[in-house]
Structure 1
């Protein structure tokens, strides 16, 4: 419980920076009431108005409710989405962000029986992550194509013409009003422009570790084939459960920046934010700056990438490098 209080304190005071005049809403479900109580206790040290909305645990479909009720956050100045699955790509989140409210996506899904609020990755220096993000975004911002390869065999190209990168580090002020517990640079890539092969060797988002490298083919922006390994079969079954063909569309390219994180399959947010990884976000990307709606959003994580923005290399074996200038 002590570590849960530590995590809740970081979120309320360092990330959200709750003020006395804030009207805070903590969205949660019954499985995560202990986390919501820890967050409320920390918030009441500062704020006079703290409310909780307990939603039915609809699993990966929880976002459907927040699409259908997009004005639900209107009475509040600050929202923490502390549910099992991410709400940041929902219509309600997008509306709240556009209205200038503080919004933090805090998906609490874990696979090891611990609360996410107890994980040490919450201790990452947010100033350091902001500096790292700015270095990467400097080169991504004006590029039109991203290219990523890995030692395992990944070779993917993604279009990003007209799309702006952003970053999350938990701190809503750094995110200009909204953020996610995932410390990363994200790009809302063009939804029809992802081509090539991903060799999945990190994690499968919410459903844990990739037990063996698994080939996934992308054509015209979407997954067309998943290798029939045990990992691939597990992923295929999970994706079919959405009953939405749009979940196969690549809508986000992300680069993990959290050096306190390990990609070991215990925690969705820890996996995708681990430094030395990249991820492809599938499905909905509306709140990230894309145009793709879907019944959900989740990420596939790979290890040790070489990343290029147009012809400039910005990461080598998962480490940020300073690109050499073009010579004309």
Structure 2
């Protein structure tokens, strides 16, 4: 890696540790990496040491998919940390180890699909505190809402019940014990009531994990789960991915999320950036542990739609990439 590239990447690392995690001198900072992302972890370690944190870096073999449990020894280290940054190949978020670490008070920034481009393309270089104000307003609307309706020009029309559900803001700011966030993916999300998601969705943004969509994938939801997947090669990829989990719950809707990063772009920096782009919406399926759903599954997938029109209780929340928060 050349010196100029390293300098810019370390600038992004510093922003994560300073603004997002608020790492303090003498705090126990765990850098969790795997053999694919160790070089990124080393830069976080250097910045953490400059900030006078007590830095420990671990390198594991990559897990096989998002939500897989890390080795037990790493799970124990996570519980002992004050702050964790996890640039890894696959997400640790939807794992019992992550939940145990959060319950123990660790602040966690998780960065699945971590790669150089994400640290260089500008998607991490945003004012997280300013975006937090908007995400908090959005979360309040979702928290107080009863029904969401989502439509698109391609023919999407989905309804879901969110009565009594707590919104989950992911602002990039993890200053409180137990807080988590996956920058550059900043968003607000809410779990639909189990069995309530109904309708048709055209996925024309991205499939995460997977890739940006080359052609739309038509999904039909009945009683809260996918009952039909139609389309070309992207639809086939999704069918094979979900079948590989060999578990019926991976087809259940557990999240409605809205991307809130004004500098993120689908298809550019990685899969966390795919679901972060402002003006997109995604439905998460599978494991709902992070969002307050009772659905448990061995994995979690996000299905991203571009340019949705979103209504909460009949009031317009988003249209033509404009959000209405007042």
Q: TM-score, normalised by structure 2?
A: 0.91
Contact 2:19/2:128 (8 A) holds in 1: no
Cα separation, 2, equivalents of 1:66 and 1:133: 34
Per-residue CA deviation, residues 216-237 of structure 1 (Å, 9 max, x unaligned), is 1111111111103121112112
Q: Which residue does 1:209 correspond to in 2? A: 212
Contact 1:105/1:180 (8 A) holds in 2: yes
Q: Which residue does 1:235 correspond to in 2? A: 238
Contact 1:64/1:295 (8 A) holds in 2: no
Q: CA deviation at 1:176?
A: 6.5
Q: CA deviation at 1:66?
A: 6.4
Per-residue CA deviation, residues 127-169 of structure 1 (Å, 9 max, x unaligned), is 2311221232232211121111111211111122221112112
The reply on whether 1:271 has 2:271 as its aligned counterpart is no
Cα separation, 2, equivalents of 1:72 and 1:146: 40
Q: Which residue does 2:83 correspond to in 1? A: 78
Cα separation, 2, equivalents of 1:16 and 1:33: 20
Cα separation, 2, equivalents of 1:68 and 1:286: 22
Q: Which residue does 1:20 correspond to in 2? A: 25
Q: Which residue does 1:164 correspond to in 2? A: 166
Q: Structure 1, unaligned stretches of length 5 or more?
A: 324-328
Q: CA deviation at 1:65?
A: 3.5
Displaced runs of 4 or more, over 6 A:
66-69
Q: Which residue does 1:118 correspond to in 2? A: 120
Q: How many residues align?
A: 320
Contact 1:89/1:288 (8 A) holds in 2: no
Q: Which residue does 2:151 correspond to in 1? A: 149
SS of structure 2 residue aligned to 1:44: helix
Cα separation, 1, equivalents of 2:72 and 2:255: 20
Cα separation, 1, equivalents of 2:317 and 2:181: 24
Cα separation, 2, equivalents of 1:164 and 1:57: 32
Per-residue CA deviation, residues 204-227 of structure 1 (Å, 9 max, x unaligned), is 113111101221111111111110
Q: CA deviation at 1:251?
A: 0.7
Q: CA deviation at 1:321?
A: 1.7
Contact 1:256/1:275 (8 A) holds in 2: yes
Contact 1:209/1:266 (8 A) holds in 2: no
Cα separation, 2, equivalents of 1:277 and 1:215: 17
The reply on whether 1:138 has 2:143 as its aligned counterpart is no
SS of structure 1 residue aligned to 2:65: helix
Q: Which residue does 2:179 correspond to in 1? A: 177
Q: Which residue does 1:127 correspond to in 2? A: 129
Contact 2:67/2:94 (8 A) holds in 1: no
Contact 1:277/1:303 (8 A) holds in 2: yes
Superposed CA RMSD in Å reads 2.1
Q: Which residue does 1:326 correspond to in 2? A: none
